[in-house]
Structure 1
Amino acid sequence: MKGLFGGRNPRAVVFDCDGLLMDTEPCWSVAETELFARRGLPFGADEKALVIGKSLPAAADAMAEAFGEPDAGAEIADELLRLVTEVVTAKAEAMPGARELVELTAAAVPVAVASNSPRALLDAALVRGGLAGMFPVKLAADEVTAPKPDPEMYLTACALLNVEPADALAFEDSMTGLRSARAAGVPVIGVPTLKHQDFPADVVIGSLRDEELLSWVRGWPQR
């Protein structure tokens, strides 16, 4: 882990939100299961793999194909957003170690959150998790032209943090986010949501409470 930057420390950190800082994937699964059930279809691991990490429009388009409703992506997106916002607002919790890690990193370097969720849902999740005031830079999928896996979100976040992508560090849990950061040239620590999945990040850890990670971050000079 300490070898990521050749003995240096990152100059900024960009966090994903869903599945990384906030345990919202179960909330998404509740909403997605309901959408499939309304059409008499089961929702399991294969269906989850179709949508995890994707932006709302991309997930809705994937669902539209699965439903045999290829022209209904926009309507499905609206339906899904209503459902998942209700569940996130009522039930989502911060991932173990999320607040401590954000506090540690923010004491040393500028931090941002870059999410494939729309701004309204990102804000709802951060408020629910007690994380809303920790990020001077927040970037949502509906605030860029092309969300993850396109590199635009990471390139924009790095520009807002005034740091070169190679000097920033990303935390991601999905292949979609990993591809986005990699395409932007940002090193990635992965905390994969799908544990059985090959996850080719620069470093892969089991949780944000990883002792080696926390020891490394505690060693960064504070601002």
Structure 2
Amino acid sequence: MTALLAPNRYRAVIFDMDGLLLDTELLWMRSEEAVFRNHGDTFTYEDKLAVVGTPIPVGSRYMAERLGLPEQEAQIEAELLDLMRAELRRQVDARPGALELVERLRGHLPLAVASNSYADIVRLALAAAGIADAFQAVVTADDVRHPKPAPDLYLLACERLGVAPRDALALEDSPSGVAAAKAAGLACIAVPQFAETDVSAADRVIDSLEQLLAEF
């Protein structure tokens, strides 16, 4: 491993949330499947790959168009969010190695979350997982004009942590997240949840956050 990719060279670590830090992509998928069932259709694995990592309005637009209801995009988004909030109130699990990595890093490095989800969804998920107090900064789609794949979320997270992007490490699971981190000037390690997800633009791709526990 080159020095560039060695995790312990960085002054801050910024986590994506859905599918990287928390196992919420599965909760999103349940909610997406329920929306499609409510409208007499089936949400497929290919549909999931099409929306994973995208901003919520983009995913909602895709779903509305797939359902043949482009004029009901706002209603589809509201329905999806209501279902997702209900899922989050039931149970939120962390991705393998995530809680251990956060615990390993907290108190030693500034930590942040940079998520394409809305603030209330992020707060609810982090609280349900018991890690809401682990991060010095939490930035969401509500905080920026252009969410991922634009660099804005990562630039704002670095600003709030007081570190230069070149000194921060992003942990991501989606193509849009990797693109955002790289556009902002961060090094990025990708941990894709779905095997078909193309995260080859990341500086390094690993199978699980557990692999980083021995490196910090």
**Shorter-chain TM-score: what band?**
over 0.9
Give how far 1:106 is off: 2.3
For structure 2, list consecutive stretches of 5 or more residues without a partner in the other structure: none
Query: Which residue is 1:16 aligned to?
Result: 16
2:91 maps to a residue whose letter is: K
Q: Spell out the pairing of 1:40-51 with structure 2 (5 A cutoff).
A: 40-51=40-51
2:210 maps to what in 1? Answer: 209
| 3-state SS in 1 of match to 2:122 | helix
Q: What whole-Å deviation, never above 9, does each CA across 1:3-51 have from its counterpart, x for those lacking one? A: 2258971111100111111101111111000111122211111110121
Q: What RMSD in Å do the two structures reach over aligned CA positions? A: 1.6
Report the equivalent of 2:197.
197
Deviant stretches of 4+, over 6 Å:
none
Over the matched positions of the two proteins, sequence identity in percent amounts to: 43
How many residues were matched structurally?
A: 215
1:38 corresponds to: 38
* Cα separation, 1, equivalents of 2:53 and 2:95: 16
Map 1:18-167 → 2, pairs under 5 A: 18-167=18-167
Structure 1 residues without counterparts, runs of 5 or longer: 218-223
Question: Aligned letter for 1:143?
Answer: D
Q: 1:105 to 1:16 in 2, by over 3 A?
A: same
Deviation of 1:172 (Å): 0.4
Judged with a 3 Å threshold, the aligned counterparts in structure 2 of structure 1 residues 104 and 7 are, in CA distance, closer, same or farther, namely: closer
Q: Which moved more, 1:120-129 or 1:192-201?
A: 192-201
User: Any idea what SS the aligned residue of 1:171 has?
Assistant: strand
State the alpha-carbon separation in 1 of the partners of residues 70 and 141 from structure 2: 22
C-alpha deviation, 1:197, in angstroms: 2.9
Residues 189-208 of structure 1 deviation map (CA, whole Å, 9 limit, x = unaligned) = 10001113332111111111
With normalisation by structure 2, the TM-score equals 0.94
- SS of the equivalent of 1:74 reads helix
